[in-house]
Structure 1
Amino acid sequence: MRFLSFPLLLLLLSAVAVFIAGDGAGAAILGLDLHHRFSPTVRHWFDSRGFGGASGWPENGTAEYYAALAAHDRALHGRSLSSSPPDLTFSEGNVTIRITSLSFLHYAMVTVGTPGATFLVALDTGSDLFWLPCDCYGCASSSSLNSMPDFQVSLYSPNASVTSHAVPCNSNFCEQQKTGCSGVTSSCPYKVVYVSNDTSSSGIFVEDVMFFRTEDTQSEIVEARIIFGCGQDQTGAFLEHAAPNGLLGLGMEKVSVPSILSSAGFTSNSFSMCFGHDDIGRISFGDKGSLDQDETPFNVDQLHPKYNINIIGMLVGNSAIDADFSALVDTGTSFTYFIEPIYSQLSKAFHEQVQDKQYTTDSKIPFEYCYIMSSGTSNVPTVTLTTSSGSPFPVNYPIIAFPVQANELAYCFAVAKGDKLNIIGQNFLTGLQVVFDRERMILGWKKVSCYDVKNSGSLPTTPRNSSSSHPGAAGPNINRPEARKETGSNNQVTVATSPANYSTNLMNNLILLLFLLHLINI
């Protein structure tokens, strides 16, 4: 047997180690469509379920539309974005989490349980817990049901799902040592208190399957077991439809869906969000971006972890501005807000380079610098932020435009004066794939089209190879997606209950390692 040189041996072993480690990190990417709160999808969902009011929502691109979004932001910031202890109680105790945002900007359709029930859940990067209205005795949905006999809305019930299990007190997830919860059979209770008008959600933790579709050419359905809150009692703004069909937190703590998916091996500990131009986007769990993306490290307070980054400069047209500040990347805020003196430095540099006539807007729109568009076109200064890594963060859409009268448009520099925090909102994120990589603790971004994402479709609603019944399996009259056949159909779908192709690839890697070990005669 011919022995390999020691340097070559190290090179081969390092390559195999990287290959194996990379394979684990490259588990499936699981995607969901995003829908803006004023999108046609959300509007139809509200109207079809009798909540009312959606018919009066403003049309996209109007002054009323931007005024409504600005009002959303003011309500959000009025709830003190920066002051939130990161604890969650697992019982009806006095110490509760105060989650940062409440007036939610984006929603996603999720399918949970067997048979599957579909929910339109609010998405929130400022909180952690995923909860659904469940066996309600105090929910917005149940309040509507009392007065509308024919009203249909998705409600989760553990008894209606054959794959549901209660999370007991002795579960590591429950952390019963903090709550006095005890016993193997006792269910683990939770309570989350939000910073607004005695708003909360409480109930018990359950575990059930949540369906995703992989984002690859061989699209598969993945059944991921997720622990979430069975929200039996909601108070405050939740009774006023702030999140009538549940809330999915995207924060850094272990109770969030991204954390659960990664700890179970379904995905990498990362996700991306992409915002399109017509109120539709995409969230992709496990997406770590691409090699050619720009990125910068998070500036994380370990006691209050949020998605903060550091900005060291700003470029407006031909004006360079020195800077040194931290900003929260908040997908739940419509516009971008900077505190003084950053706000004045940026907005005045923009104003000095605009040649259009200044326009006085409706006082409901919080933007100071607005202009009449010249003959339908204007030379708008470009805006770029320089991050602490030196990577440029391009602002694709620094303005909003809206009609003011026949054949006349106005536009505003869509940055407002902040009160306590610098916040990079959705308008600065549109047109980018924004990656929240929690393994490397970096924010990544790249200009993309959100419409290039493939394989968006309906999800299964019945257990695989199961004809068994379950007490109460029919459940409430809920909205279910169309079932998919597993065999004998052109729409054949493979259902994966573990990370796609992970076991096969791992076995191939082990075979490769054994072959190399044989070559070097160890």
Structure 2
Amino acid sequence: MGYGCVSLAWVMLVVMLGLASESCYGLGTFGFHINHRLSDPVKGILGIVHDLPQKGTPQYYAAMTHRDRIFRGRRLAADHLTPLTFDAGNDTYRIPAFGFLYYANVSVGTPPLWFLVALDTGSDLFWLPCNCTRCVPELISRGKIIKLNTYNLDKSSTSNTISCTNSSYCTQRQQCPSSGSSCRYRVDYLSNDTSTRGILVEDVLHLITDDDITDAADTRIIFGCGQVQTGAFQDGGTPNGLFGLGMDNRSVPSVLAKKGLISNSFSMCFGDDGVGRITFGDTGKPDQRKTPFNVDKLHPTYNISITQIVVEDLVADLEFHAIFDSGTSFTYIKDPAYTRLGEMFNSRIKENRHSFQSPESVVPFEYCYDITSQNETIAVPSVNLTMKGGDDYYVTDPIVVVVSEKEGNFFCLGIHKSNSINIIGQNFMTGYKIVFDRENMNLGWKETNCSYDDVLSNTPPISPSPSPAVSPAVPPAIAVNPVATSSPSINPPNTSFIIKPTFTFIFLLLSLLAIF
């Protein structure tokens, strides 16, 4: 999610270094499905369809951008192993009602209690609503009350508080009223008075092996017992907890690796329909493309270098850094790269530039183009980012399609101008399995449809032959037509897809998550 100067008071997510559970599982991978809050599976489960902005409307994109801005102020803070995942499975879901982030179902404590937590590669803290004085106990949707679980120390037989005497985890002991007091934490965000604070606790996180056997692989972790949530956390943003996936050694992936349960790596798959997967211990495939991380030892993040932007036959040699953040909906780029990409895209578009009827339009994009009933197809220029090391990152869904009664129907290049930091958001991750390989310190990516076999199988993918009319070095334009009744399949760089131009339904071409 967002980045910038954020005050992080006290301790963030900390995890036990010792192996508290049985260590006979060996190193492996653990996974679970991830879902965007806007995905149809989650909307059906939560019954919140009528309470959300309609997919593709200006209000939909305005809401997602608003959520991005709220959280952009947070702190920047081996093949023989069996992968691990959450006890409920490795599916993830993109859920609109909870801040447009990707979520997974995790269980903590004894007996297990379930939480729908947001997944965020941009932060390290794992926290849950706990013994709350200010948090969200329920949501009201379509006249129905949806209860949200709250962690309670007294109701879990395996829970412990972390005291101020614990020098390994309680780094702000000077804030403790006495040596025997519980160690407190606080994380403040720049936007809308958004924060979480509480105490550090230890309990069991329930995991299983992500294979055919699915053995239990529970482990004890230290996390934030969030007693007070403010700002966006009171308005539906991550009301049931946040699962930090950052590079810091206190994040859950780091702890699982340190305990010898997994390789120090994990992957997230971002599907077109808002459904994906996350797998702990997954280092990817030999044929995946990759680029090295730029590591800031003080505030490590998943920061990479882009050396070139290619739009159709136009090439711009621009080197800049960007952070891959599953917690940001759209892609944010600073000038001069933002303007160069936008103008290159604009010069290869045949459709008319959209003229907004109102200067107060809520649509958060600059490069937008009209869709008319006369359009047989819309030729969307291909967009490619060349990464440090030379590997290409083809953006499978560079546009968003907007339906508006006042403005008509149009599509936009899905980027925002940033004043501070470059962020590759969910929309540019669609159609890929992204591997966050902290063991080899590189980012990997590979086209996928997010099916189980496609994500974990070692079978090489079948790639179509390049179009005879197009050089493999220059991918053709993507033909898009603004109506679809189901998610389009993933299209390799040298293919096109067509959606027919009727307006009964507009499919949103966005990628999956993330969180802060």
TM-score (normalised: structure 1): 0.70
Could you say which structure has the higher helix fraction?
1
User: Judging changes above 3 Å, is the alpha-carbon distance between structure 1 residues 304 and 199 closer, same or farther for their aligned structure 2 residues?
Assistant: same
User: Judging changes above 3 Å, is the alpha-carbon distance between structure 1 residues 370 and 328 closer, same or farther for their aligned structure 2 residues?
Assistant: same
> What's the CA shift string for 1:144-165, capped at 9, x where partnerless?
89xx998732111122122223
Alignment-derived partner of residue 135 in structure 1: 131
Deviation at 1:448, TM superposition (A): 1.0
Distance 2:344 2:325 in 1: 24
Tell me the SS of whatever aligns to 2:122.
Answer: coil
CA contact (8 A) 2:314 2:344 kept: yes
Distance 1:344 1:55 in 2: 37
| 1:424-463 to 2 correspondences below 5 Å | 424-452=424-452
More moved, 430-439 vs 198-207 = 198-207
Q: Would you say 1:355 and 2:353 are equivalent positions?
A: no
Deviation at 1:427, TM superposition (A): 0.9
Alignment-derived partner of residue 371 in structure 1: 369
User: Judging changes above 3 Å, is the alpha-carbon distance between structure 1 residues 361 and 426 closer, same or farther for their aligned structure 2 residues?
Assistant: farther
Which of 331, 337, 346 is equivalent to 1:336? 331
Alignment-derived partner of residue 102 in structure 2: 106
| 1:382-461 to 2 correspondences below 5 Å | 382-403=382-403, 410-452=410-452
Distance 1:385 1:184 in 2: 53
Q: Would you say 1:56 and 2:54 are equivalent positions?
A: no
Letter of the structure 2 residue corresponding to residue 380 of structure 1: V
User: Judging changes above 3 Å, is the alpha-carbon distance between structure 1 residues 336 and 198 closer, same or farther for their aligned structure 2 residues?
Assistant: closer
Deviation at 1:42, TM superposition (A): 4.5
Distance 2:375 2:33 in 1: 37
Which of 277, 281, 300 is equivalent to 2:272? 277
Q: Would you say 1:199 and 2:194 are equivalent positions?
A: yes
Tell me the SS of whatever aligns to 1:299.
Answer: coil
Deviation at 1:239, TM superposition (A): 2.8
Alignment-derived partner of residue 222 in structure 1: 217
Gaps of 5+ in 2: 1-23, 78-97, 457-516
Letter of the structure 2 residue corresponding to residue 414 of structure 1: G
Alignment-derived partner of residue 125 in structure 1: 121
CA contact (8 A) 1:216 1:454 kept: no
Distance 2:76 2:384 in 1: 33
Letter of the structure 1 residue corresponding to residue 368 of structure 2: C
> What's the CA shift string for 1:202-224, capped at 9, x where partnerless?
22222222122322233333212
User: Judging changes above 3 Å, is the alpha-carbon distance between structure 1 residues 192 and 289 closer, same or farther for their aligned structure 2 residues?
Assistant: same
CA contact (8 A) 1:104 1:124 kept: no
CA contact (8 A) 2:301 2:323 kept: yes
Letter of the structure 2 residue corresponding to residue 241 of structure 1: G
Tell me the SS of whatever aligns to 1:66.
Answer: helix
> What's the CA shift string for 1:121-156, capped at 9, x where partnerless?
1222222111111122232228x89xx998732111
Distance 2:365 2:441 in 1: 33
Distance 2:443 2:33 in 1: 21
How many aligned residue pairs are there? 405
Which of 281, 287, 291 is equivalent to 2:282? 287
Deviation at 1:409, TM superposition (A): 5.1
Which of 291, 313, 317 is equivalent to 1:296? 291
CA contact (8 A) 2:61 2:364 kept: no
Deviation at 1:312, TM superposition (A): 0.7
User: Judging changes above 3 Å, is the alpha-carbon distance between structure 1 residues 103 and 76 closer, same or farther for their aligned structure 2 residues?
Assistant: farther
Distance 1:250 1:219 in 2: 23
Letter of the structure 1 residue corresponding to residue 116 of structure 2: L
Give aligned-pair identity as a percent.
Answer: 45
CA contact (8 A) 2:71 2:191 kept: no
> What's the CA shift string for 1:442-477, capped at 9, x where partnerless?
111000111225999xxxxxxxxxxxxxxxxxxxxx
Deviation at 1:106, TM superposition (A): 1.8
Tell me the SS of whatever aligns to 2:187.
Answer: strand
Tell me the SS of whatever aligns to 1:221.
Answer: coil
CA contact (8 A) 1:215 1:454 kept: no
Distance 2:354 2:76 in 1: 42
User: Judging changes above 3 Å, is the alpha-carbon distance between structure 1 residues 324 and 33 closer, same or farther for their aligned structure 2 residues?
Assistant: same
Alignment-derived partner of residue 37 in structure 2: 37
Alignment-derived partner of residue 486 in structure 2: none
User: Judging changes above 3 Å, is the alpha-carbon distance between structure 1 residues 361 and 423 closer, same or farther for their aligned structure 2 residues?
Assistant: farther
Tell me the SS of whatever aligns to 2:286.
Answer: coil
Alignment-derived partner of residue 459 in structure 1: none
| 1:207-246 to 2 correspondences below 5 Å | 207-246=202-241
Deviation at 1:179, TM superposition (A): 3.2
> What's the CA shift string for 1:28-49, capped at 9, x where partnerless?
21112212122345545665xx
Letter of the structure 2 residue corresponding to residue 111 of structure 1: S
Deviation at 1:176, TM superposition (A): 5.0
Letter of the structure 2 residue corresponding to residue 377 of structure 1: T
Alignment-derived partner of residue 28 in structure 2: 28
More moved, 343-352 vs 362-371 = 362-371
Distance 1:240 1:121 in 2: 15
Deviation at 1:396, TM superposition (A): 0.7
Distance 1:106 1:395 in 2: 20
Alignment-derived partner of residue 466 in structure 2: none
Distance 1:435 1:30 in 2: 14
Tell me the SS of whatever aligns to 1:379.
Answer: strand
Distance 1:357 1:177 in 2: 58
TM-score (normalised: structure 2): 0.71
User: Judging changes above 3 Å, is the alpha-carbon distance between structure 1 residues 29 and 75 closer, same or farther for their aligned structure 2 residues?
Assistant: same
Which of 162, 167, 179 is equivalent to 1:167? 162
CA contact (8 A) 1:169 1:182 kept: no
Deviation at 1:66, TM superposition (A): 2.4
Distance 1:404 1:176 in 2: 51
Deviation at 1:181, TM superposition (A): 4.8
Give the superposed CA RMSD.
3.2
More moved, 339-348 vs 232-241 = 232-241
